[in-house]
Structures are given as C-alpha cells and as structure tokens.
Amino acid sequence: MRRIGRLWFYLCTAFLLAWLAGEQGTWFAEAVLKHGAMSGLLLFYSLGLVFFGRWVGNRKNDREHPISMSAGYCFFHGSSPLVGGAAGSVLCAAVRGGSYLLWVSAGSFAVGAATWLIVSPAVYAGEMLMPSSRRHRAARLAFARALRREEQLGRERALAEVELHESNRLQIWNDELEPKARELASLLITGPASLEEHRGRIVDIGIEAWRLGGAGCMRHLYSMAIDASRDEGGDVRSMDFIGPCWEGIGTW
C-alpha cells in the first residue's frame, strides 16, 4: 500500500505542476518559478521525505515504536494520499465547482504531505518519549555496546595470538639460525675464487632456512648474518655475495 500511495502522490503532484504551467500559458520551468510558494512547499516536502524516509527506515523494533509499527498505522501512512484524493472528490461534489482532477490532486498532495511531514514525525517523537519505548531503546543500545565491546575483545585476542605466534616463530628461528648466521659471517669471501669455494655451503644453508620457514626465514637469516659479521668485526660487504647464491631457492 505504501508504494501505491507514493506513486499516486507523485502523479497528483505532477498534475498540479502541469496545471500551474497551463494556467500561466508559459514554459513549465518558468511557471513553477513564478509560483514561489508552491515550489518552496514541494522542495520542503522532497527534502523532508528523504530525511524522514531514511530515519523511519531505521525503525525495525516494534517494541520501541508500538504505534507507528502497527498494521493499522502503516496502512494509514501508506494510504494517506488516497484518502486525501477521496476527500478532494467529496469536496468537489459538495461545492459543485472547479475541476474534479484538480480537487483530487490537491487533496492527495495536502493530506499526503501533512501525514508524512507533520503527523508521522509527531507520532515518532511521541513514541520515543514513552517510558516503555525508552526502556527498550536503552536495553537495545546497551546490548549493542556490549556486542561491540565483545567484538573488540575478540579482535584484541586474535591479535595477541598472532603476536604470540610470531614471537614464538622468531624465537625458534633465532635458536635454529644463530649457528648458521655465525658460520656465514665467518666466511671470508673476497672475490670470485673464494665465493666458488664456499658456494655449496652457502646454498645448503639457504635450503635449510627455506625448509624451516620459507623466504621470510631466509631474509631473517641474511639479517642475522650481517649482524653477526658486524659484531665480529668482519667485512659486511662480503655478505652481499650470499643473496645471489640463493637465487632459485623457493621464492627468494
């Protein structure tokens, strides 16, 4: 019924604008602009319909809105333009003058706009002041806050588990890779000849690191080797030869 009522309201509004344009005998836009009050009312209605329509769309709890969510009021709210059209036809018959379509359209617009922009907001505001509605709303908001808090705690627990897992993994890597890092740091690679001498062992250590933790473990071992070389006073530049030797191992 709400869709039918709105469609009827839009048709009646379009007819009123067309009638205004016909009465002036000018272009449509110029006629609408000349009727400033009518244009302002239509603009106010359009903005109000968008605002209240979105606000009403959030009302999904019939315990907080026992009146406006009732079947009878929903029927009245949706059929108000049709009721206004029927009232306009009755008035037209009573005064026995004027255009029948004009009376029906004007009645539909007046009753629809008054119901949707005045009556319904007043009913909604009154519902929000009812003690039962306020209690239900307070309980709903408290439950929503508790739910958000629980979700936040769940995310924090998941993050703590990830951090703990990462810390344990790094500790395992450090224990497993420390001897290998010191071994790489002790290699004296001064040129192509010494590189070929140690290439096999460098590759073996890289494969062991890959099996332990993939490319991330290899990068961690590489950093540990550089730190170990620096601590032992070795030539850190010799560690630059390690990376090319590991090309082709996994995704290194």
Same domain, 123 and 69: yes
Residue 26: the pLDDT is 47
Mean pLDDT, the chain cut into blocks of 10 residues (252 residues total): 81 80 52 52 58 51 78 86 89 78 88 85 85 87 93 94 91 91 83 84 93 91 90 80 87 77
Same domain, 164 and 219: yes
Look up the domain containing 108 and give its range.
2-129
- Asked if residues 29 and 97 have their Cβ atoms less than 8 Å apart, the reply is no
Task: Examine residue 231 and state whether it is found in any structural domain, yes or no.
Answer: yes
Task: Examine residue 139 and state whether it is found in any structural domain, yes or no.
Answer: no
Report the C-alpha gap between 119 and 151 in whole angstroms. 40
Same domain, 207 and 118: no
Task: Examine residue 141 and state whether it is found in any structural domain, yes or no.
Answer: no
Report the C-alpha gap between 117 and 81 in whole angstroms. 13
Same domain, 235 and 172: yes
Rg (CA), the chain: 39
Same domain, 166 and 213: yes
What is the SS3 assignment for the chain? CHHHHHHHHHHHHHHHHHHHHHHHCCCHHHHHHHCHHHHHHHHHHHHHHHHHHHHHHCCCCCCCCCCCCCHHHHHHHHHHHHHHHHHHHHHHHHHCCCCHHHHHHHHHHHHHHHHHHHHHHHHHHHHHHCHHHHHHHHHHHHHHHHHHHHHHHHHHHHHHHHHHHHHHHHHHHHHHHHHHHHHHHHCCCCCHHHHHHHHHHHHHHHHHHHHHHHHHHHHHHHHHHHHHHHHCCCCHHHHHHHHHHCCCCCCC
Residue 28: the pLDDT is 44
Same domain, 117 and 15: yes
Nearby residues of 56 by Cβ (< 8 Å), 6 or more positions away? 68, 120, 124
Report the C-alpha gap between 176 and 221 in whole angstroms. 10
Same domain, 27 and 104: yes
Picking from 16, 32, 7, the residue whose alpha carbon sits closest to that of residue 101 is 16
- Asked if residues 14 and 104 have their Cβ atoms less than 8 Å apart, the reply is no
For residue 148, give the amino acid letter.
Answer: R
Task: Examine residue 138 and state whether it is found in any structural domain, yes or no.
Answer: no
| The total number of structural domains that make up the chain | 2
Residue 40: the pLDDT is 59
Picking from 210, 195, 208, 197, the residue whose alpha carbon sits closest to that of residue 242 is 195
